[in-house]
A and B are shown apart, each in its own frame.
Chain A
Amino acid sequence: MAERNTVVGIDLLVAGALIASMGYLLVRSTAINAFGFSLATVGAVVLLVVPEDIARPALSRLLADSTANLEALLEETGLRARAYYIPSPEGLKSFVSGGDEGSNGGAEITADELRTLARPPLSLIIESRGRKGLLLTPPGATLVREAALGAGDDPEEAVRTVVVETSGLAKGARLVQEGTSIKLELNSPVSESRTPYYNRCLGTLATSVAACAIARVLGSPIRLMEEQLDGATRFAVFRLFSEEASKEER
């Protein structure tokens, strides 16, 4: 069944087009013609704007619930390292390596290696540099895909769209990229869920959804490096894993 916005948008568009054409062909009235044109543009706007599929508070609660299973998995496996967010044709993935926090088995992992990890055959437990890790689908992966975000979009705009407008996980977002360092600022994020393992590895919910959006639009893997709450603002720093950014930094 077609959703409400589509039906209303098409109705207004068709009615506007009919009024405009009748105003031009039958009555030769500019005012009627212009009225039809205005009505048609309002219909087009209603048709183009993304409809609200689900109430934002409900969506943020569903997202919070979806972290519960990952929390249990991370607690069970004992993984503590910060996650990598890897964009791939199969969807966005998060890789939590078995190494210590701040390293991946002691050696720096490259963008190509990360991309290889997210290629089929995909499995939950994968091995990187002799250490087992988890390849997860973070809660924001589908949200980012459905938001029609793509490589080349503005990262700050993408974060604002997904975290602020679509899911209502924060009231505002700012993002600054300096070489391979990406600094994120989220204003008044929703109260954090009690998921310490998830928060430690993938970041808090708002940050991890933002990370999905950033990785998707930049088209390169990123890693959460640090995250802290200062008053009502959450600060997070990501590292970009791309050959171009690394060259620029050098």
Chain B
Amino acid sequence: MDTKLRFILVYSVIVFSAYTAYVFLNQTDLGVYVSSVAVIYFALRLTLNPQYRTRVDFLGLILLALFAYFVAERVLQILEPT
């Protein structure tokens, strides 16, 4: 199978499997969903390395920013004095 098609298929299957699992686990934190999507995306991008139309990976940048935001939020929550 072509790498590009395999990337799209594998990414879709893993993302929606993770989504279904989180829904069954009653996960209500959006940060967990977004962080999982980001990790899945970067792991597959690194392993399958499909060819993109653009030289800049815009989706990767957006996911990285969102991931950083949710991680920073969680770190601040932990550091916040109770």
Contact = CB atoms under 8 A, between A and B. Distances in A.
Interface of A: 30-31, 33-35, 37-38, 41-42, 44-46, 48-52, 56, 147-148, 150, 157, 161, 165-166
Interface residues of B, number: 32
Contacts of A48: 52-54, 57-59
B22 to A, nearest CB: 7
A34 B22 contact: yes
Contacts of A56: 2
A148 B15 CA distance: 28
Given A34-B22, A49-B7, A49-B8, A41 B52 contact: no
B77 interface: no
Nearest to B53: A50
Interface in B54-71: 54-55, 57-59, 63
A50 B29 contact: no
Given A48-B54, A50-B51, A52-B2, A38 B15 contact: yes
Contacts of A38: 15-16, 19, 33, 37
A4 to B, nearest CB: 12
Nearest to B66: A37
A49 B16 CA distance: 19
Nearest to A41: B37
B23 A31 contact: yes
Given A41-B15, A49-B51, A30 B29 contact: yes
Interface in B18-48: 19, 22-23, 27-30, 33-34, 37, 41
B65 to A, nearest CB: 13
A30 B25 CA distance: 13
A148 B8 contact: no
Most chain-B CB neighbours within 10 Å: which of A44, A49, A50? Answer: A49
Contacts of B27: 30
